[in-house]
Amino acid sequence: MKKSNTPKTDNAKLRDLEKNREYSDGQYITTDHGVKINNDHNSLKAGERGPSLLEDFIMREKITHFDHERIPERIVHARGSGAHGYFESYGNVSDYTKAAFLNNTATKTPVFVRFSTVAGFRGSTDLARDVRGFAIKFYTQEGVFDMVGNNIPVFFIQDAMKFPDLIHAVKPEPHNEIPQAASAHDTFWDFISLMPESMHMVMWAMSDRAIPRSYRMMEGFGIHTFRFINAEGKSTFVKFHLKPKLGTHAVVWDEALKISGNDPDFHRRDLWDNIEMGNFPEWEFGVQLVAEEDEHKFNFDILDPTKLIPEELVPVTPIGKLVLNRNPDNFFAETEQVAFHPGHIVPGIDFSNDPLLQGRLFSYTDTQLSRLGSPNFHEIPINRTIAPMHNNQRDGHMRQEINVGRVSYSPNSLNDGYPAQAKEAEGGFVSHYERIEAHKVRERSESFSDHFSQAALFFNSQTEPEQNHIIKALRFELSKVETVAIRERMLGLLSNVSAELATKVASGLGIAVPKQPQKPMNHGIGADADPKKHEPKPIDTSYKNSDALSMVKNPTTTNSIETRQVAFLCADGVSEKSLNALKKALESKGAAAKIVGPHAGSITGDAGTEIKVDFAFFSSSSVLFDAVFVPAAKDNSQLTENDNVIEFINDAYRHCKVIGFDNGLNDLIKATTIGNKWNDGKDNSLPGIIINNGNAKSFTDDFTTQMGRHRIWEREPKISE
């Protein structure tokens, strides 16, 4: 039949488009090929606690499609910042692992570390409330080992089958691509309110851990339980930890919002600048070790990625240090093209049957194939192993290796059998000899069904200010949710964590906590599963507090002010004596003084010295600094009458930072928020407000000591009921 050349009408075009529209209302979920799915929440395993099976065509299709949804930007962890450095072992851990780089104190293992946010696009802000990626590529003599971790030790979901759903829910809503790099919207909380397994991670994500002060001040965690394997083949379960030398610190939420406006590259700039200045970030690398015979001794399952092992039960043993000492030469070639994979391991390290980890072992290679466009992504310089690489893999897009010879198969005789297999004693990788005998099931172990105990443990372990920040964060996030039923479901889940928490969040939302929390319509079980078997367990109260979970109480928290930045608000005629005294005291403790003046260029001190200005009042903000000092000037009206200076001091006060004033600045103090609580300097007891009354040593000692507290939480208003 001859085709008509008549152009289609708009209605005809709409009908063509309609053929491609898919409406899921009232429909069963299927594969891309129309097969109805009985269980979309669990991967196929050998037994409910066994390893995931490669034959799981449903999971592979789902994750493959997800991995290829966007190119070339990473789907998650798109916005990143990286640096080179080294790992140095403290000593012999051969009783637990034969991994040579963990036992060799004579060699510094090169590393590349990439930090990132999870949800936002590449152009989003560094200060979004989000999980931070903490991925390390160890270039060991036995091959590449990637520790692909986060700054939070647990995750939202228990099974990799749910990862595409989680990310689809947290990404900008698809009809308008709003909001960017934020979880404060309906689709995220709709998903979370139906997944009680996420409640522990929600506590972390709503805490100050999700808005770190710096990449240099974050903990790092491997999240999953892995295995160490020693030379005798003995397995020990292990969790990886990185504890920052500078302690674990955060900004407050209002600061995060303002930093995003002042400097959305705040974390990138901080990392880059400090490495350039020689302030090399450092972490202690430690492990929690659990003997295989103790696998089931806890009141939770160590294979559950929504659980952590409290450090009070299993202390973290330091085994080395990680130092970053060199910035990349080219962001794209290194930071953007680096390709991590939790399946990159070396002899002495092996996997557990954690079902989230098992799915990641498939997903990461698939993702790199999509993002970097070739199976040869390992040949990109930043990904290239320093160990010799020989195999029979050939060709492919962008191949760089020039393979010499006619043989590319095994076994062969034309090349005397080479490259040959390596015996275990020769360094050949041998998987842990684990007995597996189970039915193929799409199930989740009953030992994974306690969803609230560790969420309660985390909340109860926080100090009062930290708890208040979680409450405020939940109020903010849920106030952005338009669907009231989702808010109510979340309050029902929060009441399982803490009645006080749920009540205070509900107060901010103007609704009541449900008397009978609505049971989730779906929380990780299949269509034919017995819901009673998967009911969330009641809270386990056998351990109620862990100081390691609080940034304020954490035993590794330090009062060091090293690399902290103090804004000196200066005008022409500034007291050079006062300025130089505090500047010298700060620099002796590794902190830095930054001059903020009325204009760019320089100002003149009271002794005639030209003083370089680092920032201008109108182009800076207190949120970019850790403390504030105002030295007196010949004419203090330059400060008192400047609105930017008043706002600078008010924000510093609001954000609980140390503020120092020279004597004689009462008019300036009265013009700020502090003036409402001030009495012409007669009452010098306002926490964190320090007056220099002429005794330079007393003032500088007090100022630096108070800075070591990092925040003056006594000044923070109590949360409203």
Q: Count Cβ atoms below 10 Å from residue 24 Cβ, excluding itself.
A: 8
Coil, strand or helix at 52: strand
Is residue 325 flagged as an active site residue?
A: no
The torsion of the CA quartet 544, 549, 551, 557, rounded to 10 degrees, works out to 100
Question: What separation in angstroms does the CA of 180 have from each of 116, 119, 267?
Answer: 15, 8, 18
CA pseudo-torsion sign 133, 348, 100, 318: positive
Mapping DSSP to helix (H, G, I), strand (E, B) and coil, where does residue 382 land?
A: helix
Nearest to 196 by CA among 626, 610, 492: 492
Residues ≥6 apart with Cβ < 8 Å to 185: 172, 173, 178, 179, 480, 481
Alpha carbon of 618 to those of 628, 630, 639: distances in Å? 16, 16, 12
In the block, tokens 């991925």 appear at: 135
Q: Where are the alpha helices (DSSP H) in 335-410?
A: 355-372
Phi, psi torsion values for 244, nearest 5 degrees: -70, 140
Three-state DSSP class for residue 669: helix
**Nearest-angstrom CA–CA distance, 265 and 251:** 15
CB 392 within 8 A of CB 410: yes
3-state secondary structure (DSSP) of residue 604 = strand
> How many residues belong to the chain?
721
Of 336, 268, 331, whose CA–CA distance to 72 is shortest?
336
Please tell me what DSSP assigns to residue 464.
Answer: H
Angstrom distance (rounded) from CA 608 to CA 604 = 6
* 14 beta partners: none
**How far apart, in whole angstroms, are the C-alpha atoms of residue 462 and residue 450?**
21
Supply the angle between the helices 576-588 and 696-707 in degrees, to the nearest 10.
50
Convert 641-656 into a string of H (helix), E (strand) and C (coil): CCHHHHHHHHHHHHCC
Alpha helix (H) ranges present in 498-540?
Answer: 499-509
**Could you identify the residue written with the tokens 């002042």?**
262
Give the residue from 402, 403, 400, 404 showing the smallest Cα distance to 381.
400
- CA 190-470-486 angle, 5° bins: 15
- CB burial of residue 682 (10 Å; 0-12, 13-18, 19+): exposed
Q: Retrieve residue 563's tokens.
A: 């690399």
Closest to 448 (Cα-Cα) out of 304, 579, 310: 304
H helix runs in 480-560, sequence order = 484-497, 499-509
Q: Is 554 among the catalytic positions?
A: no
Structure tokens, 569: 């608000």
- Give 33: exposed, middle or buried? Use CB within 10 Å, 0-12, 13-18, 19+: exposed
Contact criterion met (CB below 8 Å) for 622 and 643: no
DSSP assignments along 123-141, one per residue: TS-TTSSS-EEEEEEEEET
Candidates 150, 274, 353, 642; catalytic one: 150
481 near 458, Cβ under 8 Å? no
CA angle 109, 112, 118 (to 5 degrees): 140
Please tell me the distance from the alpha carbon of residue 582 to that of residue 566, in angstroms, as a whole number: 10
* CA 553 and chain centroid, separation: 20
The catalytic residue among 41, 77, 378, 534 is 77
Q: Tell me which residues are annotated as active site.
A: 77, 150
